[in-house]
Structure 1
Amino acid sequence: MTFDPDTRDQVGQRGHDGVYRRWYLNSLLYAGGGALVCALISVAAGYAFDKYRFRGKEKLFGVVQLGVLVPSTALALPMYLLASKAGLVNTYCSVLVPVLVNPFGVYLSRVFSASHIPDEALEAVRIDGAGELRACWSIGLRMVMPGFVTVFLFQFTAIWNTFFLPLVMLSDQKLFPLSLGLYAWNSNTHAEPAFYPLVVTGSLLAVLPLAVLPLVVAFVALQRHWKAGLTAGSVK
């Protein structure tokens, strides 16, 4: 995909007009919001695959895991056609919706659910009168929090570094994430050398420390959830 002259002009005109800040905020929206919802969906799916019995469960789980084998680049064109039919192209949803599903996150959540949520604990809350949603939210999610945090951080990092999906879906530079915005600047350096300082400085700020800072904060703030023994004493 190439950038048309109008897009190049927009980027050039706004190169000194705070657009870099907007790209960074867009990256935070895509990575933070997408990773949060994806982690919730993955944990809920993994919990269901682990704790419930239904016909064709293992076959369905195998189909989900086949998604791990499909490269994201192979799905770019089908996702673009679907987004075009739904009228979502060149919107925030065109980038957010595809990243809400993570087959590996579902697998990881099922593993965490099997190892961190005792069946006896769920049976106890059911005896006390709690429904399935209440048991999942109040007991299951709290016990599987290490898995939730792990999926969140994996997906946050993947979305933060994504490039091809927004390249296909977006043409409005106001919606660009940081990676695509820097690419847009870099594509103008041959015609306008004045973009070189913007590209170099923007890349430096994106890596040190702006791109690393959200991950560092997330690791420091959420590291306690990885500690073992969260369910110790729940089952005698």
Structure 2
Amino acid sequence: MSTDTLTRPGTTATKPTPREKPPARQGGFASKLSVNGLLILGSAYMVVPVLWLLFASTKNAADLYGTSAYSFGSFALFENISAVAAKDGGIFFRWMGNSVLYAGFGAVFGGLISVMAGYAFDKFQFRGKNSLFGFVLVGVLVPNTATVLPMYLLASLVGMTNTVWAILIPVLCNPFGVYLARVYAASYVPMETLEAARMDGAGPIRSFCSLGLPMMMPGYVTIALFQFVGVWNNFMLPLVMLQDQQLLPVSVGISIWQGYAVPQPEFVPMVITGSLLSVIPLLVAFILLQRFWKSGLTAGAVK
């Protein structure tokens, strides 16, 4: 006789208690060690050269070759700064001012143009929109050094070489900034807000100035910082476009001093000290604007 229990109609069979799932296995020590090790290596790659500049700027020419790399010298920092300031009537600070002009102009106006273009690509519908944005993405892939010679030939046709405009006009174009601005516009500016503004009688320009630009301000600051750093570190464009030393940025000026340092070793401490001084504006810009670019880098993470 079968001992199986049959379930009568109208009765509910007792379901077996499901087994508890084992807890998710947490990352092991090896994975944490590898991740933290990569972060430490990346941090060291960026910090160690700056530390070397800090230590080397305290040394004179004899200490640079007679002491260890990461040790203080005879504390000749102020002497080196004085030598940099006195060289050729203080031309180094003229170079610094030129770099601030070029990078600041590119950051403010070039970033604004990128934000406007990215906003238009995301919010407006027009013929050839996808094709034009494809050209923008192609511009992201083209290295800046590949465009220096064509821009020089174009500038020479209109007599614009060896002028500040030969640097200021090209820095207004930033394809990568346009791409980032479109991402920020899609994340920060909802279409419902623009539709409400349109219902209230606001036109496209007023909607952008009153709603779009303020809502995209973290993205604008992030793009401006990227543009500032890119223009500040730009070397090939001013090297080709400019011949007057009074118009050179600090990156090209320091490279000229580095060429002098081979036959004249007294230029070596000035090159090192000038390189350290040229980093300070970048650090100040990132520290003062960190609350904007930190929030801007998270755009698109949550929609």
Q: Give me the TM-score of the superposition, normalised by structure 1.
A: 0.84
Q: Which residue number corresponds to residue 283 of structure 2? A: 212
Name the CA shift for 1:158/1:227 in 2 (closer, same or farther; >3 Å). Answer: closer
**Cα RMSD after superposing both structures:** 2.1
- Residue 20 of structure 1 and its aligned partner are, at CA, apart by 1.0
Q: Is the 8 A contact 1:149 1:225 kept in 2?
A: no
Q: Is the 8 A contact 2:161 2:242 kept in 1?
A: yes
2:87 counterpart SS class: coil
Which range moves more in the overlay, 211-220 or 132-141?
211-220
- The CA distance in 1 between the partners of 2:169 and 2:207, in whole Å, is 28
Paired amino acid for 1:82: L
Q: Which residue number corresponds to residue 274 of structure 2? A: 202
1:54 counterpart SS class: coil
Determine which structure has the larger helix proportion and give its number.
Answer: 1
Unmatched segments (≥5 aa) in structure 1: 1-13, 230-236
- Residue 15 of structure 1 and its aligned partner are, at CA, apart by 2.1
Higher gyration radius (CA): 2
Paired amino acid for 1:213: V
- Residue 213 of structure 1 and its aligned partner are, at CA, apart by 2.5
Q: Is the 8 A contact 1:205 1:211 kept in 2?
A: no
Render the CA deviation track for 1:120-149: whole Å, top value 9, x for unaligned.
Answer: 111111111111111111111111112111
Q: Which residue number corresponds to residue 234 of structure 2? A: 162
Q: Once the two structures are aligned, what percentage of the paired residues are identical?
A: 53
- Residue 206 of structure 1 and its aligned partner are, at CA, apart by 2.0
Q: Give the length in aligned residue pairs.
A: 215
Paired amino acid for 1:212: L
Of 95, 100, 104, the residue aligned with 1:23 is 95
Render the CA deviation track for 1:107-129: whole Å, top value 9, x for unaligned.
Answer: 11111111111111111111111
Of 44, 56, 62, the residue aligned with 2:128 is 56
1:15 counterpart SS class: helix
Unmatched segments (≥5 aa) in structure 2: 1-85
- Residue 192 of structure 1 and its aligned partner are, at CA, apart by 3.2
- The CA distance in 1 between the partners of 2:146 and 2:277, in whole Å, is 31
- Residue 53 of structure 1 and its aligned partner are, at CA, apart by 0.8
2:265 counterpart SS class: coil
- The CA distance in 1 between the partners of 2:297 and 2:163, in whole Å, is 39
Does 1:81 pair with 2:161?
no
- Residue 157 of structure 1 and its aligned partner are, at CA, apart by 1.0
Name the CA shift for 1:118/1:211 in 2 (closer, same or farther; >3 Å). Answer: closer
Paired amino acid for 1:100: L
Of 128, 134, 139, the residue aligned with 2:211 is 139
Greater RCO, CA 8 A, separation 6+:
1
Which range moves more in the overlay, 112-121 or 14-23?
14-23
Name the CA shift for 1:228/1:68 in 2 (closer, same or farther; >3 Å). Answer: closer
Q: Which residue number corresponds to residue 42 of structure 1? A: 114
